[in-house]
Amino acid sequence: MMPSKDRKPRPSATPGRSSAGPETPARRLLRTLDGVELWHIQEALRPGQKWPTIRYEVGGNGGPVDMFERPHEAWHRFQQLTHAPDKDIRPEPPPIDGPPPGTPPKARPTRRRRRKPS
């Protein structure tokens, strides 16, 4: 069943914006240390744009927020502000014996039946 051609689209929740897709960027908090935050921001696609625009924000403590296009530059600025180490300094966890919980049991080898002598 085809809708009629004179049917109007639903009104959007915000006036002046289309309801086709999200206008606000997708934001993920990557790290927080000493009140400084590192954010990953993926902006909505514009018409004709093939790949989404990804930016990184570093800031906090009421100071200025720095924007970066490359993740390593944002991480470097985050390290300057927080004195974060390059590597994880926690000790190596002990080895786990056996399969992790929730994994299916190992499959048994296929058993073949003997042919009956005729």
Number of independent structural domains in the chain: 1
Parallel, antiparallel, or unpaired for β 36-42 and 66-68? unpaired
Whether 88 is in a domain gets the answer no
Query: Which residues span the domain enclosing 60?
Result: 26-82
Helix, strand, coil: what percent of the chain each, to 5?
Answer: 10, 20, 70
Whether 7 is in a domain gets the answer no
Whether 14 is in a domain gets the answer no
Whether 43 is in a domain gets the answer yes
Whether 37 is in a domain gets the answer yes
Give the helix/strand (H/E) hosting 79. Answer: helix 71-82
Tell me the whole-structure pTM to 2 decimals: 0.55
49-99 pLDDT per residue, tens:
899 999 999 998 888 999 999 999 999 999 999 998 888 788 888 887 777
Q: In the structure encoding, which two tokens stand for residue 108, read together?
A: 């048994």
Q: In the structure encoding, which two tokens stand for residue 107, read together?
A: 């499959």
Give the helix/strand (H/E) hosting 82. Answer: helix 71-82
